[in-house]
């Protein structure tokens, strides 16, 4: 039966090529937009280079001090001291990396200034992340302990500073803010959308100007906590919450201005969302807005397609009338038109997939996002299929239902 419905749908498509073109164009354009958006969201929140272990990672990046009525609030990144005390000591974590938020510096080559993003990290940073070393290796505990002036740079900075034809960069010197560093490694860079791993230069945290020795709760550092398995993250969160609950009030009250301390070890998505929302009510509001936007993106084209589908199906009113006269139930007609519409939507989805690949390739090679790695991987492909199905149902159910309810006489007259 399903094969027959698909054969009928194919014949209907061939009957009016221009009509078919308009229908497929609308479907393809809508699904292409949705697939590109899906790929970009996957780029932002998925596990990609060099944060391939996001599925078992937690992020500690901000400390909020407030009062019980939320009338006064102070927030910001944590200090190195705080993260060493309360994150590094987590027994349930496999490893904890501490890194500074990126800051800005300058380097000069042949009288030309190069603006740099710099980052200070501990040694575990290179184990928690999966940076690809093109040359050399990361710094180790000895470099950190000795406060060596060493640096790991990206391939982009290597090409800018030493030239792309340099035979080797490891062992050479680079001057940044009038301090000379020895390059010990070159890595493939991280996209700027991964703020905890993105930088042009990486220094040991004991290097000059890191300010890691500052005491107090707040500073300029964040931590990535790596659990052994994704399922262990809840246990790690619970242990961290216990640690935070035991922090004496005197450490965060600031002369009784604050009596509430909020520090979370969150998944990357929750951490990202918490940068914009402060309560469950705000979170519901964000979800509602996102849902409405998606509904508009899919709903408006779906409404247009409903009209097109009604016209397309109305042409077949006599066929519906004849089939009903011979006893075809409304339910069978309803399913036939729905399956036909889903089939047409999947054809449009195949074109959209091809067009999405072209758009993504263009974005990746355009340089708009450095080291961009938008892709159509398995999750993106699965969501794309789901979108095709939802869009096919959205635009097909109503006209199918309307046509299946036609009276025999009314259908035969049309």
pTM (2 d.p.): 0.84
* Residue 126 scores a pLDDT above 80: yes
Structure tokens at 148: 């060596």
CA 73 – CA 288 distance, rounded (Å): 26
What are the tens digits of pLDDT across the range 128-186? 999 999 999 999 999 999 999 999 999 999 999 998 777 789 999 999 998 999 999 99
* All residues at 6 or more sequence positions from 351 whose CB lies less than 8 Å from its CB, including other chains: 24, 28
My answer on whether omega of the bond before 50 falls inside 30° of 0, hence cis, is yes
According to the model, what pLDDT value does residue 316 have? 74
Of 174, 210, 187, 219, give the one whose Cα is nearest residue 77: 219
Mean pLDDT of the chain: 87
My answer on whether omega of the bond before 285 falls inside 30° of 0, hence cis, is no
Cα-flanking dihedrals φ and ψ of residue 202, to 5°? Answer: -120, 130
Which residue is it, tokens 């987590």?
90
CA 35 – CA 243 distance, rounded (Å): 42
Name the DSSP letter for residue 189: -
% of the chain beyond a pLDDT of 90: 49
36 in Cβ contact with 376 (< 8 Å): no
Cα-flanking dihedrals φ and ψ of residue 163, to 5°? Answer: 95, 140
Angle (CA) 7-10-15 rounded to 5° is 125
377/136: higher pLDDT:
136
Residues in the chain: 414
Give the orientation angle of helix 17-45 with respect to helix 280-314, to 10 degrees: 160
Structure tokens at 398: 């109503």
Q: How confident is the model at residue 246 (pLDDT cuts 50, 70, 90)?
A: very high
Cα-flanking dihedrals φ and ψ of residue 343, to 5°? Answer: -60, -45
107 in Cβ contact with 114 (< 8 Å): yes
Which H helix or E strand runs over 60? Answer: strand 57-60
CA 392 – CA 411 distance, rounded (Å): 24
According to the model, what pLDDT value does residue 121 have? 97
What are the tens digits of pLDDT across the range 59-115? 999 999 988 877 888 889 999 999 999 999 999 999 999 999 988 999 998 888 999
413 in Cβ contact with 49 (< 8 Å): no
CA 9 – CA 314 distance, rounded (Å): 14
364 in Cβ contact with 372 (< 8 Å): yes
Q: What is the mean pLDDT of residues 402-406?
A: 70
112 in Cβ contact with 97 (< 8 Å): no
Of 348, 300, 333, give the one whose Cα is nearest residue 402: 333
CA 186 – CA 132 distance, rounded (Å): 9
Which residue is it, tokens 């390059």?
183
CA 363 – CA 385 distance, rounded (Å): 22
Of 345, 290, 299, give the one whose Cα is nearest residue 41: 290
Q: What is the mean pLDDT of residues 238-256?
A: 91
What are the tens digits of pLDDT across the range 314-344? 677 777 777 777 777 777 877 887 888 788 8
Of 143, 153, 157, give the one whose Cα is nearest residue 207: 143
Structure tokens at 238: 């619970």
132 in Cβ contact with 188 (< 8 Å): yes
């Amino acid at each position: 039966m399903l094969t027959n419905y698909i054969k009928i749908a194919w014949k209907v498509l061939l009957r009016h090529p221009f009509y078919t073109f308009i229908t497929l164009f609308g479907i393809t354009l809508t699904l292409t937009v949705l697939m590109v958006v899906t790929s970009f969201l996957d780029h932002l929140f998925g596990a990609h280079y060099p944060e391939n272990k996001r599925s078992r990672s937690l992020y500690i990046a901000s400390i909020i001090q407030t009062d019980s009525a939320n009338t006064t609030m102070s927030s910001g990144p944590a200090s190195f001291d705080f993260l060493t005390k309360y994150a590094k000591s987590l027994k349930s974590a496999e490893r904890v990396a501490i890194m500074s938020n990126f800051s800005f510096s300058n380097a000069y080559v042949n009288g030309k200034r190069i603006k740099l993003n710099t980052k200070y990290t501990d040694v575990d940073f290179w184990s928690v992340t999966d940076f690809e070393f093109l040359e050399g290796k990361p710094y180790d505990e000895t470099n950190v302990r000795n406060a060596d002036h060493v640096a790991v740079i990206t391939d982009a900075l290597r090409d800018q500073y030493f030239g792309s034809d340099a035979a080797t960069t490891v062992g050479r010197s680079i001057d940044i803010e009038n301090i000379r560093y020895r390059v010990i490694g070159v890595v493939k860079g991280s996209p700027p959308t991964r703020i905890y791993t993105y930088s042009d230069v990486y220094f040991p945290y004991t290097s000059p100007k890191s300010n890691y020795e500052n005491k107090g709760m707040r500073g300029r550092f964040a931590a990535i906590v790596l659990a052994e398995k994704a399922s262990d993250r809840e246990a790690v969160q619970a242990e961290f919450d216990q640690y935070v609950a035991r922090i004496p009030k005197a450490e965060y009250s600031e002369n009784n201005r604050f009596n509430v301390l909020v520090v979370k070890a969150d998944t990357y998505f929750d951490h990202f969302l918490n940068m914009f929302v402060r309560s469950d009510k705000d979170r519901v509001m964000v979800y509602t807005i996102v849902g409405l936007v998606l509904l508009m993106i899919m709903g408006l084209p779906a409404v247009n397609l409903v009209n097109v589908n009604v016209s397309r199906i109305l042409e077949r009113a006599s066929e519906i009338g004849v089939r009903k006269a011979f006893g075809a139930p409304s339910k069978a007609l309803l399913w036939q038109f729905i399956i036909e519409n889903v089939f047409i939507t999947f054809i449009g989805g195949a074109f959209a997939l091809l067009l999405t690949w072209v758009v993504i390739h263009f974005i990746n090679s355009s340089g708009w996002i450095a080291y961009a790695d938008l892709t159509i991987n398995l999750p993106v492909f699965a969501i794309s299929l789901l979108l095709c199905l939802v869009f096919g149902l959205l635009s097909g159910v109503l006209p199918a239902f309307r046509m299946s309810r036609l009276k025999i006489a009314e259908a035969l007259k049309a």
